[in-house]
Structure 1
Amino acid sequence: MTQTVAKNGGTIRNIGALTSPAHCPQGLPGLQAAEAGAIVSALHRTGNCMGGKAWRCWAGLILLGLASMAEASVQLTGEDLYYLLSAEFATQKHDPEIAIPAWKHSVDQLPTAAVLAAASKAAAQLGDLSQALRWAKRWHELAPEDSESARFEAGLLLADGQEPAAIDLLQATLARFPEDERVSSELAELLAQHGRFGDAERLLHTVIQNHPDSAAAQLTLGRLALLQKHPRRAAEAFAKALQLRPDWEEAVVLYAESLRQQGSSLAALQTVQDFCAAHPSATDARAYLAKLYLNLGGQTQAYRVLQQLSLLRPDEPKIWDQLLLLAIGESDWTGAQQALEHLRELSPHSPLNSYYQGRIAEARKDWPKAREAYEKLAGTPLADEAQLRMAQTYYAQGHKNQALLELQKLQARHPDDAQIPLLRAQLLQEEAEYGMAAQILDQALEQHPRDPALWYARGIVAEQQKDYAGMDKAMRIVIDLRPDDAQAYNFLGYSLLERHKQLPEAGAYLEKAIQIAPEDPNIQDSIGWYYHLQGDQKKALYYLQKAHAQMGDEPELLNHLGRVLWQMGQQKEARALWQRGLKKHPDSRQLQEALLHP
């Protein structure tokens, strides 16, 4: 590492390089061209040159920017410039050990509003919140007429947990700058976060009245509506924001989310698809589109969107993580391996590399290679997850006892983790050992009596044991703990349908489920079957066809859909549907029975 000794004896390392004194801007206050050139040359000797034309452009812009930090009455010396350049470049390189001391020196020598603003923003960027806040306060004191200084200080106060102080500051700033829409929007969101929705909405309506073309105020109004769980109102506000700013990516994502929360996932999907088609470089919208596809069961479509997104954001590991897992799900081994190699380039020492190597090998049923990869994760933060995966590889090979032993060891280390007994119970269920599964879940519920996932699993086991009273009790507890759990309502309702008991009660449960999750294909199948049993074949067909569009040729769904078609006089179509399904699922008793006894 190259080091350069500054005038005061301090060490400044990795400052960067300039190519020639001739590229230093002329006429900086108090700084002669020769002096500036000497500093530039000294910096050049530190090495680590970023190269040629790009460096010269960067250096020129930085020098011009630094010149603006000095007020006309302030003499910018060579040493001042040296430290400002050091601070700026170290900030660009995200090196707080150099940047923060260099900014401190610059603030001490040039305590102007511009320097304090730059120093505060740099400290915040580098994660030194307390130092950023101190400089922001001084910046605001020096520039009270600048609303940005107050807004930046308020943001830092909020990040520091000083919400009341942030609200007070923004209110005082709004009184001083009543026409500043940014202050109004930030204050409104902050008031809403503290439950003062009425104050926030009144403030925004005043802004909109005075500034009818304010897209920012409409966006904030929509955010408030979402916070209050009023998606319809939110959608109206976001639509107005988009009318004012059609290219606003954040607004289109929020508008789509408000549609989804109203139960219009397909409309949300169409909205974002159209926006992405019109804006090829939109990244946030594409990330949301991939999430929407996954929520709707469209794994293949989500995979394609993430492939596009990886080209737009090649240096974002999170995207490659998702892309790799979807590539495994799509059995695209070439794509999975390419994604893994890219992740290795981004983070060569990350334990995730071994984890994903194990996931690829596991998906390809190369069990020894999978376990070899997972064993490398011992002593890392992923060790427990790796042991869970190893247990599943043993189970997949038929080594049930070894799999359960791995899980028992893991649970001994983490007795308070509710996820481990869930997995143990799942493995036992698959072996039809319902009694042991129930025992493990009952023990876990003694420790976690308000865990809805444990109660849900307990309800499933009770159903498998034909303990319908126990199932009913467990699912009702899930609903009590999670009133919007659509799957619990669906499970209760469909269980009653399967037993041909209490159809009105079953219908009430299923209507609640479809209201909460209208695009869930499993719930669409359930309520479609309910309408069939009630004799309403038209409604039954509507829901079953929607489910079929998402779930494809799943045997139980094909059985239901075919029987509805048969009842509607479309016997030929029903038989063709069952025969097609049986080719894909030759062991399906439901489809065999449907063909024999329609």
Structure 2
Amino acid sequence: MKNQLTRLARSVCLALALGTGGSALAANGDVAAGAFPAQELTPRTLYQFLLAEIAGARGQIGLSAQLYLELARATRDPRIARRATEIAMYSRNLQIATEAARIWTEVAPNSEEARRVLGSIAGAGESGDVDLDAIQIQLARVLAQSNGRLPQNLLGLNRALARVPDKQATKSIVHRLTEPYLDVPEAHIARAQAAMITEDPMEALAAVDRALELRPGWEPGVLLKAQILQHAGAGAEALRQLEAEVTRSPDNRTLRQAYARALVGAQRFVDARTEFRHLLVGSPDDAELLYAVGLLSLQLDELAEAETHFLRALGAGHPQADLIRLHLGQIADSRGEGEAARKWFAEVGDENHRPEATIRSAQSLAREGRIDEARTLLQGEADEPQVTRRYILAEAQILRDADRSGEALLVLDDALRETPDDTDLLYESAMLAERLDRIDLMETRLRRIIALKPDHAHAYNALGYSLADRSLRLDEAQHLIERALELAPDDPFILDSMGWVRFRRGDSSAALEHLERAYAIRKDAEIAAHLGEVLWTLAREDDARRILDEALSAHPDNRLLNETAQRLGVR
């Protein structure tokens, strides 16, 4: 029994060391490798180890921190002291964190990390007030005694000061602490980071530029500068900077990856894919790169290439395997390969992605006309309220798309008996009531949403548009849409509604302004129908034909678009 306890204790110690960076402790100077203090692994020590870990696993973080502190006092082991510090900081118990960190620095006097952590909490009391002088003194000592690790310690300054609530004070401390080290690029990076925390991109750029003057082409500086520029809204300049650095250092994979990500952010998907393909040449089995090329190909609607790279990413062990299966199912479904699509969806096991896979499977069945099977699938899968709600909404949408709006409304009515104030269910049921020309029910439910959620822009818009489309209470309709536009000024559908109510009131010129803006944001079929009609009314028939032809090419089955084109004699 004693031998079993000893072996178990050693396993616990090993797991503890690995789980909290035991190797890093030795490397950082806590103790020399292989020179950890010899501990007598008594049953009591083991018992307290286990109690502390079990308490943490059960969410009793405060108790876990207290148990680890007692263990640190008894063993004086730097690994345990570090663990106690981390858990206490996580539980926001500054008293335990301070004592544990002090033990850590005492038993590992050469550990810069221990001193840095102690510095970050040195003056914090139970009230949460921070003694900035104490922190500054402690961090100045860390920098002065860096023993060859000055660059790393400079880069860690802002992390050490993360608990200081006054970010302007943090910046001032960073400036004072880095003053003796301004010939070191990392000092300027620390200043740039502090400036970013205080939302001062110009100061941050000046600091990072100084770092790059000291060390031209330095990768961390280049990457930080691009990040600052992007944060400041200068994405094009960030791209130019990264492109220049990639041209200068074409074999630097980190810079090329940053450039590729920036291209994605700029929605230059073709160029981004080219860069990721270039990276794949050197690492053909890199799962992340394969996944990136797959996503970009999917975005570009190049499904064969997307499928190839997703399959390779899956084979390379990408951690988001279920997301890849969803994408592969989506590709198969878009080709009309329902069985293959549902096979991929059925393989999704992660509970976070399972509802999406189930809904997509049901939609796939519905597209094949197997509506009842789709409904059965959705009705049998729900296992928690939020998932149930998603499935109810999906079932109603399937019925609506199958022109079974009455049944869809019954599904939502049943759900609303359980949760009568669910605004999503109310909104979808209101839209179905409008489709069934049950205007009183639609209005009642939309007004209920507005009462429950006064900032629900789409409830105002839906009610205003429905009234305007029927030429009912046009003053009120415009007022409702104006309120929606106040809440969401760039929403293309609300802009479309404003254009349409203006048109119904006889102001075609004002209508045109809103509709052109809406269509510029989103080339939606119904917006195109409204825009075409207004242009035709303004005797701009050629422009109307162009808009309607363009929209019909993209949306040949849209009912409103076809009705409008036929009524105007465009087709």
Q: What TM-score do you get using the length of structure 2 for normalisation?
A: 0.64
* 8 Å CA contact 1:235, 1:255 repeated in 2: yes
Alignment of 1:154-165 (within 5 A): 154-155=158-159, 158=162
Kindly indicate whether residue 143 of structure 2 is the aligned counterpart of residue 138 of structure 1.
no
Q: Which moved more, 1:175-184 or 1:294-303?
A: 294-303
CA gap of 1:477–1:504, structure 2 versus 1, over 3 A, is: same
Query: What is the CA-CA distance between 1:219 and the residue it aligns to?
Result: 3.9
Query: What is the CA-CA distance between 1:5 and the residue it aligns to?
Result: 1.9
Which residue in the other structure is 2:201 paired with? 197
CA gap of 1:395–1:457, structure 2 versus 1, over 3 A, is: same
Choose the corresponding residue for 2:483, options 453, 477, 488. 477
CA gap of 1:538–1:448, structure 2 versus 1, over 3 A, is: closer
Which residue in the other structure is 1:314 paired with? 318
Which residue in the other structure is 1:562 paired with? none
1:457 maps to a residue whose letter is A
CA gap of 1:139–1:307, structure 2 versus 1, over 3 A, is: same
User: Percent identity among equivalent residues?
Assistant: 12
Query: How far apart, in 2, do the equivalents of 1:240 and 1:158 lie?
Result: 33
Query: How far apart, in 2, do the equivalents of 1:308 and 1:156 lie?
Result: 42
| SS at structure 2 position matched to 1:5 | helix
Query: What is the CA-CA distance between 1:327 and the residue it aligns to?
Result: 4.7
Which residue in the other structure is 2:327 paired with? 323
| SS at structure 2 position matched to 1:279 | helix
| SS at structure 2 position matched to 1:484 | coil
Query: What is the CA-CA distance between 1:318 and the residue it aligns to?
Result: 6.1
CA gap of 1:143–1:157, structure 2 versus 1, over 3 A, is: closer
Kindly indicate whether residue 266 of structure 2 is the aligned counterpart of residue 251 of structure 1.
no
Kindly indicate whether residue 276 of structure 2 is the aligned counterpart of residue 276 of structure 1.
yes
CA gap of 1:456–1:77, structure 2 versus 1, over 3 A, is: same
Query: How far apart, in 2, do the equivalents of 1:544 and 1:217 lie?
Result: 51
Which residue in the other structure is 2:357 paired with? 356
CA gap of 1:487–1:186, structure 2 versus 1, over 3 A, is: farther
Which residue in the other structure is 2:492 paired with? 486
Q: How many residues align?
A: 498
| SS at structure 2 position matched to 1:385 | helix
Gaps of at least 5 residues in structure 1 are 18-42, 44-57, 261-267, 560-587
Write out per-residue CA displacement over residues 534-557 of structure 1, whole angstroms, 9 at most, x where no aligned residue: 75958985x778767xx7352569
Query: How far apart, in 2, do the equivalents of 1:293 and 1:500 lie?
Result: 46
Which residue in the other structure is 1:554 paired with? 556
| SS at structure 2 position matched to 1:278 | helix
Write out per-residue CA displacement over residues 146-168 of structure 1, whole angstroms, 9 at most, x where no aligned residue: 45356457437648978567656
CA gap of 1:184–1:5, structure 2 versus 1, over 3 A, is: farther
CA gap of 1:340–1:536, structure 2 versus 1, over 3 A, is: closer
* 8 Å CA contact 2:195, 2:204 repeated in 1: yes
Query: How far apart, in 2, do the equivalents of 1:211 and 1:117 lie?
Result: 38
CA gap of 1:292–1:151, structure 2 versus 1, over 3 A, is: same
* 8 Å CA contact 1:253, 1:288 repeated in 2: no
Write out per-residue CA displacement over residues 410-445 of structure 1, whole angstroms, 9 at most, x where no aligned residue: 445545543222111122233233342222112211
| SS at structure 1 position matched to 2:382 | coil
* 8 Å CA contact 2:478, 2:501 repeated in 1: no
Query: What is the CA-CA distance between 1:380 and the residue it aligns to?
Result: 5.6
Query: How far apart, in 2, do the equivalents of 1:445 and 1:282 lie?
Result: 50
Query: How far apart, in 1, do the equivalents of 2:524 and 2:248 lie?
Result: 34
Which residue in the other structure is 1:220 paired with? 224
| SS at structure 1 position matched to 2:471 | coil
CA gap of 1:466–1:531, structure 2 versus 1, over 3 A, is: closer
1:454 maps to a residue whose letter is A
* 8 Å CA contact 2:157, 2:174 repeated in 1: no
Q: What TM-score do you get using the length of structure 1 for normalisation?
A: 0.62
Which residue in the other structure is 2:447 paired with? 442
* 8 Å CA contact 1:117, 1:139 repeated in 2: no
* 8 Å CA contact 1:5, 1:11 repeated in 2: yes
Query: What is the CA-CA distance between 1:274 and the residue it aligns to?
Result: 1.5
1:213 maps to a residue whose letter is G
* 8 Å CA contact 1:418, 1:454 repeated in 2: no
Query: What is the CA-CA distance between 1:62 and the residue it aligns to?
Result: 8.8
Query: What is the CA-CA distance between 1:234 and the residue it aligns to?
Result: 4.4
Query: What is the CA-CA distance between 1:450 and the residue it aligns to?
Result: 1.8
Query: What is the CA-CA distance between 1:364 and the residue it aligns to?
Result: 0.2
Query: What is the CA-CA distance between 1:11 and the residue it aligns to?
Result: 4.0
Query: How far apart, in 2, do the equivalents of 1:319 and 1:216 lie?
Result: 31
* 8 Å CA contact 1:215, 1:241 repeated in 2: no
CA gap of 1:374–1:557, structure 2 versus 1, over 3 A, is: closer
* 8 Å CA contact 2:326, 2:345 repeated in 1: no
* 8 Å CA contact 2:365, 2:374 repeated in 1: no
Q: Which moved more, 1:523-532 or 1:403-412?
A: 523-532
Query: What is the CA-CA distance between 1:272 and the residue it aligns to?
Result: 1.3
Kindly indicate whether residue 436 of structure 2 is the aligned counterpart of residue 431 of structure 1.
yes
Q: Which moved more, 1:399-408 or 1:481-490?
A: 399-408
CA gap of 1:129–1:464, structure 2 versus 1, over 3 A, is: same
Kindly indicate whether residue 182 of structure 2 is the aligned counterpart of residue 178 of structure 1.
yes
Choose the corresponding residue for 1:419, options 416, 419, 424. 424
Query: How far apart, in 2, do the equivalents of 1:513 and 1:116 lie?
Result: 61
Which residue in the other structure is 2:131 paired with? none
Query: How far apart, in 2, do the equivalents of 1:307 and 1:372 lie?
Result: 27
Q: Which moved more, 1:269-278 or 1:213-222?
A: 213-222
Q: Which moved more, 1:424-433 or 1:320-329?
A: 320-329
Query: What is the CA-CA distance between 1:252 and the residue it aligns to?
Result: 2.7
Query: What is the CA-CA distance between 1:296 and the residue it aligns to?
Result: 8.0
Q: Which moved more, 1:464-473 or 1:477-486?
A: 464-473
RMSD of Structure 2 on Structure 1 (CA): 5.7
CA gap of 1:528–1:590, structure 2 versus 1, over 3 A, is: closer
* 8 Å CA contact 2:348, 2:357 repeated in 1: no
Query: What is the CA-CA distance between 1:371 and the residue it aligns to?
Result: 3.3
Choose the corresponding residue for 2:152, options 136, 148, 152. 148
1:386 maps to a residue whose letter is Y
Query: What is the CA-CA distance between 1:270 and the residue it aligns to?
Result: 1.9
Alignment of 1:492-503 (within 5 A): 492-493=498-499, 502-503=507-508
* 8 Å CA contact 2:333, 2:341 repeated in 1: no
CA gap of 1:107–1:320, structure 2 versus 1, over 3 A, is: farther
1:191 maps to a residue whose letter is A
Query: How far apart, in 1, do the equivalents of 2:169 and 2:531 lie?
Result: 52
1:273 maps to a residue whose letter is R
| SS at structure 1 position matched to 2:428 | helix
